[in-house]
């Protein structure tokens, strides 16, 4: 009897196409943040519209929060690392973002909400990601979901790599959120010193990885690119790739942290005016008119 087995194919990693350093910015009532994914990158990273990283030990950088403001035509994903923030919106939702929690909000045809700190000292840190909606879904009813820290599926892989699966799927673990059309994958990775992690990604997805914390990460396989903290690596679209490989030096002083994001591109026109993201200028004008008249919310 022939008991020979076929050896597993080697993992083929996407390479790093480009490394991007975010731009210092402020939003809301003077909240200081780093805008990592900016408008010029929207077409390349379709369906993602924006990524903001925020983190400060100084209350003056965040205490003003984000008072009432509108959105139409996309989804917001807020990932809290540290601190507490209260959400309220025009549909009647109220939620508390705390360390490790996630908020997934579909603005759809329109919502007005606020995100206000529930602390006046200590560290506030996290991310907000904007995910576009397909033209057919932009005027859908708004929706809101709070995901508590212990409700985010997680697993520990080889070498102690901790994976929180916010959206999509990783190594057989389904995420907290599944979305049609854009099919986002959002993973929060903690990689100990000396570890390697291979994250599978759908071949047709645009993808990027944001390194945060204090430890650089090598991304890719042969000729891997070392990406320093507070940098975004845009991953090459390789039809033959299985996903992306991350490696952390054995002599690193602490674990590395990476936010890995991927999604299926919509391939549709993007027209943006501040908090409104539609497909045409006429649709943007209607959004502004609806907001001014009070017809946008809810």
pLDDT tens figures, 100-145: 999 999 999 999 999 999 998 999 999 999 999 999 999 999 999 9
CA nearest neighbour of 243 among 210, 220, 266, 268: 220
Please check the confidence at residue 7 and state whether its pLDDT lies above 70.
no
Q: Name every residue whose Cβ is closer than 8 Å to that of residue 287 and which is 6 or more positions away in sequence.
A: 72, 73, 110, 273, 276, 278, 296
Please check the confidence at residue 296 and state whether its pLDDT lies above 70.
yes
For residues 133 and 108, the answer to whether their CB atoms sit within 8 Å is yes
Q: Supply the pLDDT for residue 1.
A: 47
Please check the confidence at residue 9 and state whether its pLDDT lies above 80.
no
Which of 1.20.200.10, 1.10.10.10, 2.60.120.10, 1.10.3210.10 is the CATH number of 153-266? 2.60.120.10
Span 147-164, average pLDDT: 96
Q: What is the CATH number that goes with domain 18-151+268-298? A: 2.60.120.10
Name the residue ranges covered by the structural domains of the chain.
18-151+268-298, 153-266
Buried b / exposed e along 86-106 (16+ C-beta atoms within 10 A): ebebbbebebebeebbbbbbb
- Enter the DSSP assignment of 284: H
Common-topology check for domains 18-151+268-298 and 153-266: yes
* Length of the chain as a residue count: 298
What global pTM score does this model have? 0.95
Q: Supply the pLDDT for residue 209.
A: 98
Average pLDDT, the chain: 95
For residues 266 and 181, the answer to whether their CB atoms sit within 8 Å is yes
Question: Phi, psi (5° rounding) for residue 160?
Answer: 80, 15
Q: Supply the pLDDT for residue 126.
A: 97
Span 192-197, average pLDDT: 97
For residues 37 and 51, the answer to whether their CB atoms sit within 8 Å is yes
CA-based end-to-end distance of the chain = 68
| Residue that the structure tokens 């820290």 belong to | 149
Could you give the CA distance from residue 185 to residue 166 in angstroms, rounded to a whole number?
A: 8
Cα atoms found within 13 Å of the Cα of residue 173, Cβ hemisphere only: 20
- Strand, coil or helix: 221: coil
Please check the confidence at residue 288 and state whether its pLDDT lies above 60.
yes
């Amino acid at each position: 009897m022939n008991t020979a087995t076929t050896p597993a194919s080697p993992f083929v990693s996407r390479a790093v196409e480009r490394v991007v350093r975010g731009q210092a910015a402020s939003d809301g009532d003077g909240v200081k943040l780093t805008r990592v994914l900016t408008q010029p990158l929207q077409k390349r990273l379709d369906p993602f519209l924006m990524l903001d990283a925020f983190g400060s030990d100084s209350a003056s950088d965040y205490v003003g929060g984000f008072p009432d403001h509108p959105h139409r035509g996309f989804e917001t994903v807020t990932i809290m690392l540290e601190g507490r923030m209260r959400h309220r919106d025009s549909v009647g939702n109220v939620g508390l973002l705390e360390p490790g929690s996630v908020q997934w909000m579909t603005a759809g045809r329109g919502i007005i909400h606020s995100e206000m700190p529930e602390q006046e000292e200590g560290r506030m840190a996290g991310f907000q990601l904007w995910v576009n909606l397909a033209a057919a879904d932009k005027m859908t009813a708004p929706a809101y979901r709070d995901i508590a820290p212990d409700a985010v599926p997680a697993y520990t892989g080889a070498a102690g790599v901790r994976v929180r699966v916010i959206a999509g799927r990783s190594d057989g673990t389904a995420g907290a959120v599944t979305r049609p059309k854009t099919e986002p994958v959002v993973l929060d990775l903690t990689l100990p010193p000396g570890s390697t992690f291979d994250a599978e990604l759908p071949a047709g997805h645009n993808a990027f990885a944001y390194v945060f914390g204090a430890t650089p990460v090598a991304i890719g396989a042969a000729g891997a690119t070392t990406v320093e903290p507070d940098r975004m690596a845009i991953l090459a679209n390789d039809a033959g790739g299985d996903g992306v490989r991350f490696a952390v030096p054995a002599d690193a002083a602490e674990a590395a942290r990476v936010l890995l994001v991927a999604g299926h591109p919509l391939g549709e026109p993007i027209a943006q005016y501040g908090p409104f993201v539609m497909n045409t200028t006429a649709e943007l004008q209607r959004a502004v008119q609806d907001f001014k008249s009070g017809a946008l919310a809810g």
